[in-house]
Amino acid sequence: MTFKHILFDLDGTLADTAQDLVFTLNKLLQSEGHQPLPFEQVRPMVTHGANALIEAGFGEHLPAEKFKQLTAEFLDIYQNHLTHKTVLFPGIAELLVTIEEQDQLWGVVTNKPSWLTNPLMEELGLAQRAACIVSGNTVEHKKPHPQPMFYACEVMGVSASECIYVGDARRDIEAGRRAGMKTITALFGYINDDDDPSTWGADGSVEHASEIIEWQKRFNRDSQ
């Protein structure tokens, strides 16, 4: 068994999207007459998507219609600020080159909807390089269900047992494990203070993207 291919979560693992998402939330808060929130307070919420950000800004008990309105406005603002300050995390650009130079494949499996994922990947210059891009609406189920992981493998023409999945949330590790992949927690991502990644069951964890290749080598040594 050889772990040749690496799949990534998007927000908080491949790309540092927090500044654009926090900007979006604060712009929405100000439009509703609220004070903006500090970046560091909101950053850990980014991995959980728009709903979690709106709850962080406006509370968990909004009327359904108000929540729906705010969600629509949030997504409209964000769609126009996808990559104003979004960048790849340190070491990711070099890691992708290394994977490609080894004639291996890499791709993205995210719960972000495709109408945001695809333009974001395009604007980052990664859409044509990725062997697959699986979004939250690509298949019936989202992570932590393993279906998106199996679909990614189908698109790439590889087995899940050949893949490593890197993510910054429990649902990422659960999805990867349920698919039979090796899993790595990106500790540099959007992790809440009350989260304990050591309980997620990942096969490894990294503080910097440059460590991922070393884990790949370790998994391959251990499998021999």
Q: Are 3 and 163 in contact (CB under 8 A)?
A: yes
Q: Do residues 93 and 127 both lie within one domain?
A: yes
Contacts for 101 with CB less than 8 Å, ≥ 6 apart: none
Same domain flag for 44 and 71: yes
Task: Say whether both 24 and 132 belong to one domain.
Answer: no
| 37 and 145 housed in the same domain | no
Q: CA-CA distance, 82 to 18, in Å (whole number)? A: 10
Strands 15-16 and 87-88: antiparallel
Would you place residue 1 in the very low, low, confident or very high pLDDT band (cuts 50, 70, 90)? low
What is the per-residue pLDDT across 184-212, written as a single tens digit (0 to 9) for each? 999 999 999 899 999 999 999 999 999 99
Query: Any idea which residue has 């649902």 for tokens?
Result: 171
61, 79, 97 - which closes a domain: 79
From residue 53, how far is each of 48, 110, 190 by CA, in Å? 8, 17, 12
125 in the same domain as 41:
no
**In terms of domains, do 52 and 106 share one?**
no
Tell me, yes or no, whether 56 and 106 share the same domain.
no
pLDDT single digits (tens) 168-179:
999 999 999 999
Question: pLDDT at position 156, please?
Answer: 98
Last residue of a domain, which of 60, 79, 98? 79
In this structure, the answer to whether residues 178 and 95 fall within a common structural domain is: yes
Question: What global pTM score does this model have?
Answer: 0.96
Q: How far is CA 118 from CA 76, 93, 152, 216, in A?
A: 16, 18, 15, 27
Name the token pair of 151: 């679909």
3-state secondary structure of 98: helix
Torsion of CA 36, 42, 48, 51, to 10 degrees: -20
Residue 161 and residue 186 share a domain: yes
- CATH label of the domain that carries residue 168: 3.40.50.1000
Q: Virtual CA dihedral for 56, 62, 64, 66, nearest 10 degrees? A: -90
Measured in degrees and rounded to the nearest 5, phi and psi for residue 106 equal: -140, 155
- Same domain, yes or no: 22 and 121: no
Say how many CA atoms lie within 13 Å of 161 toward its Cβ: 3
Which of 32, 61, 79 is at the close of a domain?
Answer: 79
Judgement on whether residues 146 and 212 belong to the same structural domain of the protein: yes
The pLDDT tens digits of the residues spanning 75-105 come to 999 999 999 999 999 999 999 999 999 999 9
Domain membership of residue 36 as a residue range: 18-79
* pLDDT at residue 2 in the model: 87
Catalytic residues: 9, 11
For the chain, how many structural domains are there in total? 2
Q: Please give the full DSSP string across 144-195, using - where no structure is assigned.
A: TSSHHHHHHHHHHT--GGGEEEEESSHHHHHHHHHTT-EEEEETTS---TT-
Same domain (yes/no): 35, 129? no
